[in-house]
Amino acid sequence: MRKDSVAGSVNCPMPFTSLGLSAPLTRAVAEAGYTEPTPIQLQAIPPVLRGQDVMGLAQTGSGKTAAFVLPLLQRLSDTQREKPRRVRVLILVPTRELAAQIGEAVRSLAQHLPEAVKTSVVFGGVSINPQMMALRGGADVVVATPGRLLDLVDHNALRLSAVNTLVLDEADRMLDLGFNDELTRILALLPRQRQNLFFSATLPPAVQALAETMLHEPVRIEVESTPATEPSIAQRVIEVDANRRTQLLRHLMKENKWDRALVFVATKYAAELVAEKLYRSKLFVTSFHGELSQGARTQVLDEFKASRWEAVITTDLAARGIDIANLPVVINYDLPRSADDYVHRIGRTGRAGESGLAISFVSPETEAHFRLIEKRQGLSIPRERVVGFEPVEVVDDASATPPVNAVVQGNGGVKGKRPSKKDKLRAAQGR
């Protein structure tokens, strides 16, 4: 597979008007408050407009969504659409929240186009009937999680035979959630001649293999972090015994008076338990996880964005695809499973040019795993102790060293050694 590589950094500012976008699109961009393209947008928009396949690798919060939405809307507006509408653009994403966010972006950026673009956002975890009704008369753009898309195909609610552009967003996360079989089925339903756009924050071997099978002579864009694009995130590590993390979290919240904090834990049980304990301590805290109904998840996010909650205790469901403006702090109550997940978690703060803070709680049992995260991310973060919460537990080296992809959690044993819950996780994420 030949790849036309594009330089990873762009120094000279350029307006969106220089990229070949129409006046209605540049007007929508201006109304959204964007003055100039981000590096991924600057490099991806021209080849997408030309109809080329693109493989885009860029950090979280880099503007990947507009990098493909803007040129695809331009191409749609340049072609005559049939009645009933046939799906021309299919955007596949791993989670309900990301689907809703991209759908909102498509509608916002398309608002001034001379002909309306009908966009349908479909995902699992909610009734399929309203989604089937919304697809009557067809759609121009469909944003979907893979499992629900196949359900709608099986119900004859939509056809994919006219799709001319397929977008895979957060491809690495999609494979992490085990969507391989669904992707294989979806690819078999699409026309062989189509444009493929592939966006991911990381490129593990499984993602590379999928890209090799999907993309034809792609333009490869890899935007590296630079002082201008790197989020301004201060990272701290606090040593604390596992059984005192909740008390430390309560102390930090009351002492720092953050207006909002996003706290990551390992399980739904931990999210609910920690949230309940903090709420009883007169803090406005709630939980957020994949077993909540879609309505409840949407309500929690909306209220959190409006600063009605001081903290949301969440699983990795919120590690990607959720944009919370001006979020001051992210806290790793439980350490993430992998170094990549660490980057995605802390990337919820320090977005859009703002500064942010990421705090990780490290116990004697999890010290070895955090050293591994540091090694893989090229980090060296000084350890801190908070007076009154100094760790007293002692573990030997053998018990403190979990498997490479495992994390010893204070509330649930060693990840990677318990029976697989992949099907349950995929269902909770909205497949």
Domains 4-223 and 232-429 share a fold: yes
Residue 383 main-chain phi, psi, to 5 deg: -85, 140
Residues in the chain: 431
Domain assignments of the chain as residue spans, ordered by start: 4-223, 232-429
Q: Identify the CA nearest to 345 among candidates 354, 355, 334, 332.
A: 332
Residue 58 main-chain phi, psi, to 5 deg: -155, 155
In CATH terms, the fold of domain 4-223 is Rossmann fold (3.40.50)
Residue 225, pLDDT score: 54
pTM over 0.75: no
Distances (CA, A) of 108 to 33, 69, 384: 12, 10, 44
Tell me the pLDDT of the chain (431 aa) as tens digits. Answer: 333 444 444 444 567 888 889 999 999 998 887 878 888 999 999 999 999 999 998 766 678 899 999 999 999 998 877 777 899 999 999 888 889 889 999 999 999 999 999 999 999 878 999 999 999 989 999 999 999 999 999 999 999 999 999 999 988 878 777 788 899 999 999 999 999 999 987 787 888 888 888 899 999 998 865 444 455 889 999 999 999 999 999 999 999 999 899 999 999 999 999 999 999 999 999 999 888 887 888 888 889 988 899 999 998 876 666 777 788 999 999 999 888 889 888 888 876 667 889 999 999 999 999 999 999 888 999 999 999 999 997 765 544 444 434 433 444 333 444 434 444 454 455 55
How far is Cα 263 from Cα 322, in angstroms, rounded to an integer?
A: 14
Other Cβ atoms less than 10 A from the Cβ of 85: the count is: 17
Residues 6 or more apart whose Cβ sits within 8 Å of residue 84: 137, 138
In CATH terms, the fold of domain 232-429 is Rossmann fold (3.40.50)
